[in-house]
Amino acid sequence: MSAPQSLAKAAMNRLAARLGSGLADVAATLAALAQEAPARVQQELSLFWEEVSMEAQRIENDRDAGAAGSRGGAAEDPQERIDALRAKVAELSRRLDRMPAAPDGPPRSPGQP
């Protein structure tokens, strides 16, 4: 085989080897994602239903507060409403902190594990 033919064959061999290892890496990544997917879906569904429950409670509370307000009751103190919202935010923050971070998920806030 002449030198140019050897170089061409060597280049083709190296390209095939690199593409092969790249495909193997992609396949391994996909396999890892496929193993994590059921747990991730379960976690997302659980969080979704918690959000639905909280939203239903909020709607009920708003409806009850609206009914009380229409009966001539005193309007809720704005500071109490602010405090209640802060408590909800703190609870959601605690829930998020308890959730394990996904390996490829968004970065955590500074100071978070």
Q: Can you give the pLDDT of all 113 residues of the chain as single tens digits?
A: 688 888 888 888 888 888 878 888 888 888 888 888 898 899 999 999 999 999 999 999 888 877 766 555 455 689 999 999 999 999 998 888 888 766 565 555 555 55
**Each residue of 78-88: b (16+ CB within 10 Å) or e?**
eeeeeeeeeee
Within 8 A by CB and 6+ apart from 103, the residues are: 36
- Write down the domain spans for the chain: 3-98
Tell me the pTM: 0.39
